[in-house]
């Protein structure tokens, strides 16, 4: 066990950047996972962190449970840990985990494609839906919110560790998919409920969801086999993209 008490310790500075800067993980090759729920979800999926970081109070209460899960155990005062956190109510433990961007596209995997989605909450919620409904892969087109940022990790609630994630994906990556690509549209295409009723949906496919304001780009739209819209009898112009994704992914997975 290594006790750290200084705010100027290099590891403390590194964790602070990972916890508070959305894309710091790309340069560092590490990401920060905060809170026992997310850490437990990672461990259950076979993740072994580089460092397990505990507050002194948490070390006294549950230190023995967590000590064996990482390569190095770090303990620090509760106040120092709180200064690192990006949360309004800081947790009392976290993991530093190795990260790599070398993931290759799986052409035949059931896939979710995110085209420049900006909101971290939307991105995390869609990852959670993808995992829940049996989708194996998520392609994030360049311009999408950073998948391993603290905000997306929190919104994903552990879904990251059950998915094959590819960042900075391109139009060529989408074109290489061998599963049919479906995309949502608020103005055209077949109604989702009719496709489901007629047996025209299948779980082995790729769903494409576009930018919150601009929708799917024209370049990606060319690779969609079918446009799909969701009936909105209440008369709203459109749905939140994460809500639309949940409806579409569930419909396809249960077809």
The per-residue pLDDT for 103 is 87
Q: pLDDT, tens digit, for every residue of 122-154?
A: 999 999 999 999 999 999 999 999 999 999 999
Based on the fold, state whether residues 140 and 223 are members of the same structural domain: yes
Give yes or no for residue 202 having a pLDDT over 90.
Answer: no
- What distance in Å separates the CA atoms of residue 156 and residue 147, rounded to the nearest whole number? 9
Q: How many domains does the chain have?
A: 2
Based on the fold, state whether residues 247 and 123 are members of the same structural domain: yes
The per-residue pLDDT for 213 is 87
Based on the fold, state whether residues 9 and 94 are members of the same structural domain: yes
Q: pLDDT, tens digit, for every residue of 173-188?
A: 999 999 999 998 777 7
Based on the fold, state whether residues 147 and 226 are members of the same structural domain: yes
The per-residue pLDDT for 39 is 96
- Domain end call among 76, 98, 120: 98
Based on the fold, state whether residues 14 and 120 are members of the same structural domain: no
Q: pLDDT, tens digit, for every residue of 210-255?
A: 998 888 999 999 999 999 999 988 877 778 999 999 999 999 998 8
Q: Highest-confidence range of 115-124, 196-205, 228-237, by mean pLDDT?
A: 115-124
The per-residue pLDDT for 172 is 97
At 119, which CATH number?
A: 3.40.1280.10
Taking the CA atoms of residue 143, residue 42, residue 80 and residue 89 in that order, the dihedral angle to the nearest 10 degrees is 70
Please give the residue range of the domain that contains residue 66.
2-98
Per the CB < 8 A criterion, the answer to whether 107 and 178 are in contact is: yes
Residue 103 is assigned to a structural domain of this protein: no
pTM: 0.93
Q: pLDDT, tens digit, for every residue of 25-64?
A: 999 999 999 999 999 999 999 999 999 999 999 999 998 8
CA 16 distance to own-chain centroid? 21
Residue 53: beta bridge partners? 74, 94
């Amino acid at each position: 066990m290594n006790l750290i008490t200084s705010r100027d310790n290099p590891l403390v500075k590194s964790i602070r950047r990972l916890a508070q800067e959305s894309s710091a993980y790309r340069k560092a090759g590490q990401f920060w996972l905060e809170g026992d729920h997310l850490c437990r979800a990672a461990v259950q999926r076979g993740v072994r962190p580089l460092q397990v970081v505990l507050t002194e109070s948490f070390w006294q209460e549950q230190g023995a449970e967590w000590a064996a899960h990482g390569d190095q155990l770090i303990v620090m005062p509760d106040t120092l840990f709180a200064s690192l956190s990006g949360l309004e109510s800081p947790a009392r433990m976290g993991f530093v985990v190795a990260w790599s961007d070398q993931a290759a596209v799986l052409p035949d995997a059931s896939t979710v494609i995110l085209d420049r989605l900006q909101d971290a909450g939307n991105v995390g919620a869609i990852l959670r839906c993808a995992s829940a409904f049996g989708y194996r892969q998520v392609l994030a087109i360049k311009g999408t919110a950073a998948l391993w940022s603290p905000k997306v990790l929190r919104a994903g609630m552990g879904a990251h560790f059950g998915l094959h994630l590819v960042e900075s994906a391109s139009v060529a990556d989408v074109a290489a998919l061998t599963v049919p690509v479906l995309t949502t549209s608020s103005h055209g295409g077949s109604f989702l409920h009719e496709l489901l009723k007629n047996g025209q949906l299948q779980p082995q496919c790729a769903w494409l969801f576009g930018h919150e304001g601009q929708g799917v780009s024209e370049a990606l739209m060319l690779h969609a086999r079918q446009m799909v819209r969701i009936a909105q009898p209440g008369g709203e112009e459109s749905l939140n993209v994460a809500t639309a994704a949940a409806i579409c992914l569930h419909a396809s997975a249960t077809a």
